Amino acid sequence: MTDTTPRLPLASSTGAKKRLFLRSWGCQMNVYDSGRMADVLAPLGYAPVDAPEGADMVILNTCHIREKATEKLFSELGRLRLLKEEREAGGGEMVLAVAGCVAQAEGAEIVARAPYVDIVLGPQSYHKLPEMVARAGRAAGAVIETEFPVEEKFDHLPDAAAPQGVTAFLTIQEGCDKFCSFCVVPYTRGSEYSRPAAAVLAEARRMVAQGTRELSLLGQNVNAYHGEGPDGSEWGLARLLYALAEIPGLDRLRYTTSHPRDMDEALIAAHRDIPAVMPFLHLPVQSGSDRVLEAMNRGHTAEHYLRLVDRLREARPDLALSTDIIAGHPGEKEEDHEATMALIRRVGFASAFSFKYSVRPGTPAAGAPFRVDEATKDRRLQEVQALLRDQQAEFNASKAGQTVPILFTGLGRRPGQLSGRTPWLQPVHAMGDSSLVGRIAPVRILAGHPYSLHGEIEPETQQEKNAA
């Protein structure tokens, strides 16, 4: 599990006396979910803190996608058990909760192995946290909620959320109906559900009013969005993007994660016609072999993916792509691996996520024959990653000498340094006035490094700020 713990604002000014520590692993949706959990607990007097020591409540928001997710959870719980016991020995209390996809999949096992856990809740139940905290105070054992009432969750979330910053995530869709052979999402997040467009637009307006300038729309299968529109008709993602682009002050729009089967012509046209939609798309292919794609139940071929890439680039010539690659899926042969390498060379990715196949209990691939041995998976993954690293470095280097609009998101590590993002999601560092944070400014890229860019803010921009 990758730690994506959100840096939540410390709301000491509210007078809250209870301390809440949230640790989030995995995808951006978990980061969004953690923020909303903090929102629903705020009326109970909980204010976020940045360490578990001395916390009145600790929530571990888990992800089941990565390898050994359950083992990592129990390792963390073992450390927290000591803090909980110390606090109780001193007459205090620590409510310990496990949330997210591992909680959904392993609820009973968590309680059996860690009986000191007070609350276990799945991704669709965090709106019930206040009630569960009260029940945990009365119960002799753990309180468990792992149902799938997704509509109820969104209906009961509070409107007011803590400001997320210049860039922010907004969940518009949850669950997946694709049932890829390697994936646990349909079992931990449930079937596809899309939030009503009016609710999405209202939340987006609130976020922009709080200072957000770039929104990343989230969903397990986000381009399958089919929410109810204000007029009662069904809206697809493209129509939602057009409506969001009309919000004053919302400068940039992104969305993730997409499925090739749901990239329709309207969405391709949105990339061409909406300036706020950034020229960067995460479009997982997983493999370049049709035989492996069929075994994965992906529902598309390599040729279908390549034709889709061509249509997207025809609509938006400056579009950059990222993807997901799995090395060593059961049954993958050497020629399948070579087909994946060939597809990567053909597309040319700006960035990517690549992993060895690992078993997810309960998924179809977990019991599949013809397992690939670990040494072969390691070697194939290293070859995939080497090629992808070269492509990313080449893409970053290609920006050197260009003047690029950069959305500055915060301060850099060095005194006087700012950090920001290009339209293609590349991190950029440049020296400049802190008053530029939250603004888009032209930056001449001086160098493209493997994982970031270094630039110089155009002198006219600095002069304008000094004159203001």
What DSSP letter does each residue of 289-329 carry, written as one string?
-HHHHHHTT-S--HHHHHHHHHHHHHH-TT-EEEEEEEE--
The highest-level CATH class for domain 403-467 is mainly beta
12-148 and 403-467, same CATH topology: no
| Residue ranges of the chain with per-residue pLDDT less than 50 | 6-16, 467-468
**Alpha-helical runs (H) found in 90-214:** 101-113, 129-138, 150-156, 185-188, 197-209
CATH of 12-148, one of 3.40.50.12160, 3.50.4.10, 3.30.450.370, 2.102.10.10: 3.40.50.12160
Q: How many CB atoms lie within 10 A of CB 297?
A: 14
Known binder of ligand: residue 369? no
The share of the chain scoring above pLDDT 90, in percent, equals 65
Helix (H) or strand (E) holding 442: strand 440-448
216 forms beta bridges with: 169, 254
d(CA 230, CA 15): 39
d(CA 121, CA 98): 6
pLDDT of residue 158: 61
List the structure tokens of 467: 């004159």
pLDDT of residue 139: 61
Strand 119-121 with 173-174, pairing = unpaired
d(CA 8, CA 13): 14
> For the whole model, what pTM was predicted?
0.78
pLDDT of residue 91: 85
d(CA 435, CA 51): 30
Q: How many CB atoms lie within 10 A of CB 336?
A: 21
Q: Is the peptide bond before 257 cis (omega within 30 degrees of 0)?
A: yes
pLDDT of residue 243: 98
Known binder of ligand: residue 355? no
Helix, strand, or coil (residue 375): helix
Contact 222, 257 (CB under 8 A): yes
Helix, strand, or coil (residue 43): helix
Known binder of ligand: residue 27? yes
pLDDT of residue 15: 46
Known binder of ligand: residue 236? no
Q: How many CB atoms lie within 10 A of CB 243?
A: 17
Known binder of ligand: residue 307? no
pLDDT of residue 164: 77
Known binder of ligand: residue 392? no
For the chain, give the mean pLDDT: 89
pLDDT of residue 136: 78
* 106: DSSP letter: H
d(CA 151, CA 155): 6
Q: Which fold has domain 311-398?
A: Transcription Regulator spoIIAA (3.30.750)
Residues with Cβ < 8 Å from 338, sequence gap 6 or more?
none
pLDDT of residue 157: 62
d(CA 255, CA 228): 19
List the structure tokens of 306: 């390549």
- Where do the domains of the chain lie? 12-148, 163-278, 311-398, 403-467
The highest-level CATH class for domain 163-278 is alpha beta
